[in-house]
Structure 1
Amino acid sequence: MKRLIYLILLLFGLSGCKTEQQEVQNPIVVDTDFVLQENYYGGAMQWEPNDRDSMTEAQWDRLFRRVEFMKLGYIRCCIMPYFYCFGYDGNDPILLWDMDSTKVDARWYANSRRFMNDLYRQLQFCKDNDIDVLLGEWWKPMNPNWKQAVPVDMPKYTIELDDSRYAVQVAELVEYLVKEKGMTCIKQFNLGNEVNLVANDPRTGYSWEKWKKAILNLRSELDKRGLNNIEIVGPDGGYWGTDVWFNKTLTELDSVVPVIDYHWYINKDWTFTNRVEDETRMFRFFTQMQDSSKVNIWGEMGIRDGHNEVLDQHTLIHQWWYGTFVADALIQTLRSGWSAAAAWGMDDAMHYKDDLDEQKRWGFWNSIAEQKNKPEEANIRLWFYTWSLMSRNIPKGSKILYSNSYRTQNLNGVAALTPTGDLTFAITNTADFAQRVTVQIPTVVNDPIINKYVYFEDDYPVDTAGFPVVKEVLKDVNLQKGIVIDFPAKGFVLLTTIGGSKPEIVKNDKYMMDPMEGVQRMYDHSNNLGLNGFPKFYDECNTAAPDFQFFKVLEDCGTIHPSTNEEHAYITYKFDGFNYFEIKVSGVETITDRFKVYVSPDNCEWREVELSFTEPEMSVWRFVHSTITPKTELDNCNYLKIEMLPNGYFSNTRIREVKIEKR
């Protein structure tokens, strides 16, 4: 009974005596009823076999042991068409598994056979370990000197992107892998890498229209072969800029491309300012406004600081800080409702160079370092620590939960409910000073056992294989009162009931809250909403980079507003039996003529509510803040609708937070 009373008080922010309240520093409260993402793909990586070098059995075993520890849910694996197709016999592709090998150069055939055998081995591992695969091609067959696949002194065949034979070639590859080889782990396909960037070079033969036609061709060819369940992912673009591939993919290929995929190599200071979260949230918002069934993923992601552009090497990948900042970027991405972020990359050995000093260096290790006479490069690098912990403890199928953050203090956290009913909470401190936070989960009514992992510069426990181990076992934890975490300057902490004991979670039927960071918590909404001052995704706003000054000045709160000046806009919530609400709003100079609120028992018959507005508080740029509440007691209410009226410029009418209560 005491625990139940405490729960009710805590849900209303009234728990504890004054002394207890004063001791709680930076409380982070997890809302187990507010699901940001229902379809998390799990830990994700870029991973394909080596272009040219063979691995020993011992190296394969070592690689698989390490990847198995990670418990990945998803990989992106790209290959080159020259590895499996040797040209065309009229309209028919000449395919590795169905050809006379004496008719092509023996060197080309031998390396292609080796690569494809390695690919089969990797895909079998993925199948055996329940890892879903996004298979793709780097780009179409064309003239670049692909000495990784074709001997340097041989000509390479070329084909236009929208040539129907190219779609046939790719579809036959997928059919062979899925049906003949049994690689049912292949769930998706992407046709070309960073196509929006190569389209800027007319020599490549890429353009939006050609790529669109190629995608339609591929969908048709997959369907002909009974591969309707293979999703096409796109546009697999580089940083989006102003090329409008995002909007064109959403609109012109709406029924064909269900997964929106981009790449982002992030400057470290963008994590400090939470630009990662700001941009990914906006990206997600405008995807959902077009089609709420679509998902967003990073097909490639990493931290750019230390990147050697000439050799495509990360010169600082061995350093401790990379593990904290790449985890922070992932946390910000998950807070925005994305389904996956595939880190580049698993292994330096994936892409061939004769000289190890010139090889790509982004991975957790280099599996063939012994052959290159630098065996130390085969050791596990430090960023494996945080990425593997996130992957193991927020597995495929987890629900990503909302929690507040302290973005101005460089504290970012994410919570997840796993398919087996465990809870995980991960948090980073990227500030240069020590901080304390208290993690509270009010709806957990038992006292579970929790495992705590830490990644600090001088403290990251590992076992003899170099894998992370538990720092501390926390017993009988009262999550309603909270767990205190003390950070040194910079670092990462992960708390999980996995390996401990299951939490007992009850539903919060006392109130619901929406912080206006997306549309996930809304029951319904009009199709003319904007976010944080943007009426539409900014690649159509004639600006090369987003300007989040509107977001920053309104006390770092997310805001929803209309996207047009002339139309009404609305948002609707469902919360059975509520009798009170508080709506935090902002407007330029005035507020009272900008909003109407309605309630309904059945989402059919609505009645307008007479409203009270708190005294406006001046903010910046002539914005004022106020809180809307009902003037009289409400009854028989299950639905709440907030209408934003077209009085003045669209972004001058904003909702900052909605709270609905049973009192």
Structure 2
Amino acid sequence: MRIIQLLSLLTCLLSQYACSPKNEAIITINPNNEISNNFIGNGVQWDAYPHASTENSDWGKLMTEDKWQMNYERLDYMQPKLLRVVYQANWRYLVGFDKANNPIVNFDTPEVEALEKILSYAQKNNMTVLLGEWGTPFHVHDVAENLGDKFSGANDPKWIDIIIESLQYFIIDKGYTCIKYYNLVNEPNGTWASTNGNFKEWSEGAQLLASKIRETGLAEYVSVAGPDAVTLHDNPDSEYTGIEWVDECAKQLDADMGIYEVHDYTSTESLQNGEFAKFNSRAAKYPLEKGKQIIFGELGCHTGKPENKARIEQDPHAGIDSQMDIFDYSYGIDMADAAIQAMNIGYSGTAAWALDDAMHTDGDLGDKNKLKRWGMWNSLGTELCNNPQEEEMRPWFYTWSLMCRYFPVGSSILKTEELDIDGVRLTAGISGDDLSIALVNTSETEQTFSIAIPNNTTFQRFLYIDGERSLDEDGFPKAIETNIKANKQITIQIPANSFVLYTSLDF
């Protein structure tokens, strides 16, 4: 009888072992194993509402002080570390030409004042600003009749000179030392760009701008960011593919580049199958070999699926350049996944496209019924769409704000061993004695495993799962658990299709 009992117990133990989770291995976070250090941080693109910022705008001054304040309060929670801010000279400070066709600039305009609302906020909150222009004035966007010949292109010294004048005004006169980088031409490899993929034109302009920055003493404050290429886009009229724009920039212009910067609009499939990380790791190869930082100036998840087009057609206010998944829970998972992967392949920051639907329209022509719907909200939901609910924060604000807020400037992003757990990715950042760990689980199964951490730590935990987002009284993310004691090890439980953030930072 005793033998039978022992055999029964042994069978039970073996059964439990066989059925135990396969993810019992401990994942180790080692503070001495850095992917990158001096992290710039995650953030957003926030542009100064060209259609709605002044009485002279297409829609009038719809961006009232209350609207600006709403944005400030939300960004106070998010704490973005990186802002990309783009405009055109003729939208803000280029007011005309003299008889010799020399540009006339004026920085005492309502349009410049509106731009300074963003720069003042960034300066106050110690953000890094990537400032820039969409392209050579009158060559893209709101092309003015008979003015397209005022500047020959991105390498026109007259254009470079007024850019330098604007930088002197913003940085020296106004004290916006938050402006660290300047972006000459948006996506210059694109068929839609003022350069239409002409690398020679763009590179000559970038070199001239960098030279002028050095000559005027501005190099103490600001440097050129490039190439700003959409690496997935191969322009048939360009001598280089999208990814080769980055390669050639590093090979030919490294001395003039303060930072490398690219754009990507990926897909859920590319995120989940590893193509996003693989491709963008390749794009970063030469910049990282040069010992420079690289960031995403724009990052979004686009879908070419028929459903997106159908949803655009059903929305009377959406332009063709819209991502309708921003209304869905799933977009918060995709964007968090993209940020995690970007950090794990050495990118020093990411600006999400975009903060607010009210910023841009298709072609920036001001059509109220062709909004670029990519935002975390629509500040002018009431005015443009007769729908105050559009002004509410959308689901993806939850995850993106946490990826900004809890990975401070100067963090070290730490390498962990390869996870062999279906659908799970994580990134870890250490800042002083504080540790943040962000995870996504894109599988259909809850996963449980352990992480070994450098020190005894007290965490709070945030959870983003469909239908379960804990919010505070202002609608901002709220930890579902606090005071989690971890004695050099923490057990992670991450539900299917969810995002979890553990952090010892406490604001």
Code of the residue aligned with 1:316 in structure 2: it is D
Which residue in the other structure is 2:223 paired with? 231
2:33 is matched with which residue? 34
- Measured in 2, the distance between the counterparts of 1:156 and 1:212 equals 21
1:485-526 Cα deviation digits (max 9, x unpaired): 2222210110011129xxxxxxxxxxxxxxxxxxxxxxxxxx
Gaps of 5+ in 2: 1-16, 53-60, 235-239, 313-318
Alignment of 1:597-616 (within 5 A): none
Aligned to 2:316: none
Asked whether the 8 Å contact 1:77–1:135 carries over to 2, the reply is yes
> How big is each residue's C-alpha offset from its partner over 1:432-455, in whole Å with a ceiling of 9 and x where there is no partner?
2222222221x32x3x22101110
Q: Is the aligned partner of 1:181 residue 2:174?
A: yes
Paired amino acid for 2:224: I
1:426 partner letter: A
Partners of 1:380 and 1:487 in 2: how far apart? 24
Change (3 A) 1:223 1:29: same
Q: Which amino acid aligns with 1:97?
A: F
The worse-fitting range, judged by mean Cα deviation, of 161-170 and 237-246 is 237-246
Matches of 1:490 and 1:30, distance apart in 2 = 23
Q: Does 1:486 align with 2:486?
A: no
Alignment partner, residue 474 of structure 2: 465
**CA shift in 2, pair 1:22/1:67, >3 Å:** closer
The residue that corresponds to 2:459 in the other structure is: 450
CA distance in structure 2 between the partners assigned to 1:50 and 1:40 by the alignment: 29
Partner of 1:131: 127
Output one character per residue of 1:346-375: Cα deviation in whole Å (capped at 9) or x when no partner: 111111465554201101101111211121
Aligned to 1:52: 51
Q: Indicate if the aligned counterparts of 1:141 and 1:157 stay in contact, CA closer than 8 A.
A: no
Give the aligned partner of residue 62 of structure 1: 70
1:378 aligns with 2:391: yes
Cα deviations across residues 308-328 of structure 1 (Å, max 9, x unaligned)?
Answer: 596211112110011011101
Q: Distance in 2 between matches of 1:196 and 1:288?
A: 21
Q: How has the CA–CA distance of structure 1 residues 57 and 402 changed in structure 2, closer, same or farther, with 3 Å as cutoff? A: same
Q: CA offset at residue 157 of structure 1?
A: 5.6
Q: Quote the Cα distance in structure 2 between the aligned partners of 1:367 and 1:154.
A: 35
* SS of alignment partner, residue 107 of structure 2: helix
What residue identity is the alignment partner of 1:32? P
Q: Is the 8 A contact 1:365 1:379 kept in 2?
A: yes
How far does residue 188 in structure 1 lie from its aligned partner after superposition?
A: 0.6
Matched, 1:409 2:409: no
| Structure of larger gyration radius | 1
2:256 matched to which residue of 1?
256
Which is bigger in relative contact order (C-alpha 8 A, separation at least 6)? Answer: 2
* Mapped pair 1:213 → 2:204: yes
Percent identity between the two aligned chains: 29
Contact 2:231 2:283 in 1 (8 A): no
Alignment of 1:315 with 2:324, yes or no, is yes
Greater helix proportion: 2
2:273 aligned with 1:269: no
Which segments of 5 or more consecutive residues in structure 1 lack a partner in the other structure? 1-17, 99-112, 501-663
**Kept after mapping to 2: 8 A contact 1:142/1:204:** no
Q: Is the Cα contact below 8 Å between 1:163 and 1:214 reproduced in 2?
A: yes
Q: How far 1:209 moved relative to its partner?
A: 1.1
Q: Which moved more, 1:82-91 or 1:488-497?
A: 82-91
Q: Separation in 2 of the partners of 1:436 and 1:67?
A: 33
* Distance change in 2, residues 1:234/1:454 (3 Å): same
Q: Choose the corresponding residue for 1:80, options 88, 104, 120.
A: 88
* CA 1:154–1:382: 2 relative to 1, 3 Å: farther
Q: Per-residue deviation at 1:265?
A: 0.5
RMSD: 2.5
Contact 1:438 1:484 in 2 (8 A): yes
CA change 1:452–1:164 in 2 (3 A) is same
1:156 CA drift (Å): 5.6
Alignment correspondent of 2:7: none
Q: How does 1:288-299 map to 2 (within 5 A)?
A: 288-289=288-289, 291-292=290-291, 294-299=292-297
Confirm or deny that 1:330 pairs with 2:321.
no
Cα distance in 2 for partners of 1:321, 1:437 equals 24
The DSSP-based 3-state class of the residue aligned with 1:195 is coil
What SS does the corresponding residue of 2:393 show, helix, strand or coil? coil
- With normalisation by structure 1, the TM-score equals 0.65
**SS in structure 2 of the partner of residue 358 of structure 1:** coil
In structure 2, C-alpha distance between the alignment counterparts of 1:287 and 1:144, rounded to whole Å:
29
Distance, in Å, in 1 between the alignment partners of 2:442 and 2:197 is: 40
Amino acid of the structure 2 residue aligned with 1:52: H
SS of the counterpart of 1:25?
A: coil
> After superposition, what is the alpha-carbon deviation per residue over 1:177-224, rounded to whole angstroms, capped at 9, x for unaligned?
11112111111101001101138x8x8566111111111211122222
- Range moving further from structure 2, 347-356 or 261-270: 347-356
Q: 2:369 & 2:487 partners in 1: Cα distance?
A: 52
Structure 2 residue 142 is the aligned partner of structure 1 residue 93? no
Answering whether residue 148 of structure 2 is matched by residue 159 of structure 1, we say no
Following superposition, which runs of at least 4 residues in structure 1 exceed 6 angstroms of deviation? Answer: none
**Aligned residue type for 1:237:** A
> Residues 185 and 245 (structure 1 numbering): CA distance in 2 closer, same or farther, change over 3 Å?
same
Of the three residues 349, 355, 365, the one matched with 1:340 is 349
Q: Is the 8 A contact 1:323 1:386 kept in 2?
A: yes
Q: Which amino acid aligns with 1:127?
A: Q
User: Partners in 2 of 1:138 and 1:154 — Cα distance?
Assistant: 19
Q: Does structure 1 residue 368 correspond to structure 2 residue 380?
A: yes
Q: Which of these residues, 334, 343, 351, is aligned with residue 360 of structure 2?
A: 351
Alpha-carbon distance in structure 2 between the residues aligned to 1:345 and 1:466:
20
8 Å CA contact retained: 2:230, 2:263: yes
Q: CA offset at residue 226 of structure 1?
A: 1.3
Structure 1 residues 92 and 226: CA distance shift in structure 2, 3 A: farther
8 A contact 1:452–1:494 mirrored in 2: yes
Is this contact kept in 2: 1:137–1:193, CA < 8 A? yes
2:34 maps to a residue whose letter is: V
Q: Taking structure 1 as reference, are residues 248 and 401 closer, same or farther at Cα in structure 2, changes over 3 Å only?
A: same
Contact 1:323–1:382 (CA under 8 A) maintained in structure 2: yes
Quick one: distance in 1 between partners of 2:147 and 2:38? Answer: 45
The alpha-carbon distance between structure 1 residues 226 and 371, as it changes in their structure 2 partners (threshold 3 A), is same
Pair 1:327–1:192, CA change in 2 (3 A):
same
Question: Counterpart of 1:596?
Answer: none
Which of 436, 452, 457 is the aligned partner of 2:448? 436
CA contact (8 A) 1:191 1:215 kept: yes
Q: 1:399 aligns with which of 388, 407, 412?
A: 412
**Post-superposition offset of 1:56:** 1.5
Structure 1 residues 92 and 425: CA distance shift in structure 2, 3 A: same
Aligned pairs, number: 454
Deviation at 1:26, TM superposition (A): 5.1
1:142 aligns with 2:138: yes
